[in-house]
Amino acid sequence: SYVLSQPPSVSVAPGKTARITCGGNNIGSKNVQWYQQKPGQAPILVIYYDADRPSGIPERFSGSNSGNTATLTISRVEAGDEADYYCQVWDSTSDHQVFGGGTKLTVL
């Protein structure tokens, strides 16, 4: 089955740029989604199709995907961005949605 790997944690100072990676075999050939989840809340879609933002998501959130790594970039990080972030792809081989293990973003 397809596996997505994320770092367990990323820390960043307010105003700086956070980059959260998602590794997978030839992930560049897949569409990657990113979700933000705050404690006690349901996930929210922040990036879809590698780099598109749903309405209401700030431009500070961006995504890229190439080779074996997809990246979620959060510019000018704010305290309110502190959350868990999950990447996700569709694995057509197994007809399964697949989530990464999640990355806890800490704003210092």
Partner 1 sequence: EVQLVESGGGLLQPGGSLRLSCVGSGFTFSRYSINWVRQAPGKGLEWVSYISSSGSVVYYADSVKGRFTISRDNTENSVYLQVNSLRADDTAVYFCATSDGASGEIDKWGQGTLVTVAS
Query: Contact residues for partner 1 (CB under 8 A)?
Result: 1, 31, 33, 35, 37, 41-45, 48-49, 54, 84, 86, 88, 90, 92, 94-102
Distance in Å, CB of 104 to partner 1, minimum: 10
Nearer to partner 1, 66 or 97 (CB): 97
Nearer to partner 1, 76 or 95 (CB): 95
Written in H, E and C, the secondary structure of 89-104 is EEECCCCEEEECCCEE
Dist. CA 47–CA 20, nearest whole Å: 13
Q: Closest Cα to residue 21, out of 39, 9, 38?
A: 9
Distance in Å, CB of 90 to partner 1, minimum: 4
